Structure 1
Amino acid sequence: MKPLLVLCIYLSAFMLLSACAQESGTILAQKELVQEKAEIPVFPDVPAQQFSWITEDGGQSQLDFNPRVDILFVTDNSDSMKTAQANLIKNLNRFTNGITSNKMIDYHIGVISTWDSSERFAKAKKDTYQMGDLRFAKTVAGTETQERFVTKKDSAAVLANTLKIGIAPYSEGGPEVEEFFSPLTAALQKNGRGAANEDFFRDDAQLVVIFMTDADDSSNITSEQIAQTLIDFKGGNKDKVSVYGVLVDKNDADTNKDFGLRVRPDYHPECFTPDKKKRISGCGPFGPANIEKAIVLANQGNGTEKEIRKKFIMSIISPNFGAELGSMGDSITVKTLAKQIYLSQIPRVDESGKLMLRVRYGTPDLLTQGKGQLIANKINGGWTYDNSSNSVKLSGDIKYDYKEGARFAVDLVPIPLAN
């Protein structure tokens, strides 16, 4: 092909492409101009969403507030417990202050004594109480009544006299090899109609057991068994059970312990050589290991083992006996006043992330009018929402404006149900 012809072809193609590019640019510019001149859409105003608040059914019994607690002392009445019982009575007001002074709490307080399964004990013991029988309450003058336990209608003096069961010396048939788990088990079984402990234990009440001894349990019931027995007794609800101990520590001096915990050849021959003259290194000291283990197992869910021991076990020889006893009573009060309310619908969360949920406390008339004490949404001294159970949990340290017959109302905006 001739060079001139080739050149002409290239020039023609170049001019054609340039024209196309120009035209494309012109069309694009025209489209942009049209878009600029197009009107911006205007949408009608949408009114703010209106939420309908509802109040949970006030007829549900779970909105009532009748906190109940059944407190059972399992008290050692052997020779060595005279001083410990005196300390209990002397500081009893510090223990009961929060429980008895709170008008809301409906309490039962009773006491059973230790047991000894030996033949000697069965023949020699002087009182008529059988294993697990609640001791009779006592009047202000100290005489026995026909009641087996103390209630909020009784005075502080009646409670003190009832808990002061005294000691039964060994020489007069008192216990030697103390058992605590067996009489406790028997006490739970004697709650039926016509039984010795009828009406003491209530289904909806917190169950509190307090072991008070300088010895350990010697029954054939294990720590695991007694802990599970208590939980089963409350329908498997661990939150309804608390077990405390006013005990000696294994590191306390032997003189502060029951003979069975002392490192002596007659009680712990395994700690001595066959001739009983030399103690084997590393054997002992001994403490109420079985009771301590039962306390830890029964209170599982209340922290680590160390935390449980600190909260639920106090020293029977503590120089701060009164203060520690008072802390124990306060702990019982807080747990008794704690409450959980299950909701029938899931509450909505507003745009700021706040739960659309309110909790009020007051008489039915006030609540119906939308009034009553408004309980704060906070961990301490208020309520929190548990998403896993769709429930409101009220802490036990709320300062209520107490009114006779008061209950709760829960107001919420529910999440709409899916179609």
Structure 2
Amino acid sequence: MEVRITYPAWAGRNYRIQTAATVVSGLGNAAAPIATAFAVLGAGWGTAEVGYVTAARTVPLVVLMLIGGAVADRWPRHVVMVGANVFNAVSQAALAALVLIGHPPLWALLALAAAGGAGQAFYTPAAEGVILQAVSAEHASKALSVFKMGTNGAQIAGAALGGLLATATDPGWVLAGDAACFAVAALMRTGLTQVGGQRAAGPSLVHELRVGWREFVSRRWLWAIVVQFSLMNACVLAVETVYGPVIAEDRMGGAGAWGTAMAALSVGMVVSAVLMARWQPRRILLVGNGGVFLFGLPALALALGLPLVPVVVAMFLSGVGVTVFVVGWLVALRQEIPEELLSRISAYDAFGSFALMPAGTALAGPAADVLGRSGALWACALTCLGLAAAVLLVPEVRQLERKVPEARGNLPQPEPATSG
């Protein structure tokens, strides 16, 4: 019996492979932060140490991100992604073994968390370049929304399973699953092909970075939003990876409760992705930034000492805001940034957006000591709200419009897939 699968015109081979591989790796990635936090708590440490381990992952992610972007614009992006996935599979497997053996030393947790961040620093710019390169301008909103639906659906399952498994078994097994997901994703991405003409390499990586920097600072809407997220992500990450797990452990029932809350965040992302697949607002960044106003709701709910159900609702609404922003942001990048610069611009975007995340997590514990846990959460909530309002002072953020679609990098017609 022959089964014929027909894909829509915008879902070319690279798009399908990258989406499927991102779903697979997303299952493990959503579970791993929850498992890591509870592995640290289970080893007898507290809020500060959870923050230090999280910061150890984000420091190399920030430091190496620009190099990763330049590398992804010089060499085939799919090759860079496969190498990064293999490296992450090895580092997560080592971390899992360390946790399963029992009583892991803090220095080893820090070192392996840092290794994971280093791999992601090379993966992230290459991955964003691949998915944007694989999307035609005339179908960008729909294709990117479907991509987010798939990846966020994986986060729902990953976060829920991560919390449940970390409670029912050992967090080390969750980390081992993350390593396996990275290995499978690497294997899948070997099927990617280079689409379009990635330009010849310049004289040096430094030259590549300078070119990318000139392009980055020449667009006020671009760097204004990156500065906004530099501060906002520090607060959001502190809430999701430090304060949330600690509060869940204290009064909500532990890892399973926080896994449910993180799953609600992803459900919100999926629900809003359905909306964004159909809705194509003219002012893409103005609408996208409207979603940013929802980012501070989880911190507000935790600061008020609300029970699990309202916290889950706040996480859901925050997830809605995430996808509303991300789809508009990616459409703007696809529309405004030359294809040969996508990975470098993505790297500057990620570098700026992630720059203060290590400080946010490392200082989460000391901030709670000084301000009290509730005071620190109020500071996070008000920071998110203030930044969402402040970026609207930039005219280009309010005024950037969706352009008439141009035929740039159109996808090949889909081929039918057969199976016996």
Verify same fold: TM over 0.5.
Answer: no
Higher relative contact order (Cα pairs below 8 Å, separated by 6+ residues): 2
TM-score by length of 2: 0.24
More helix by share: 2
More strand by share: 1
Q: Which of the two has higher C-alpha Rg?
A: 1
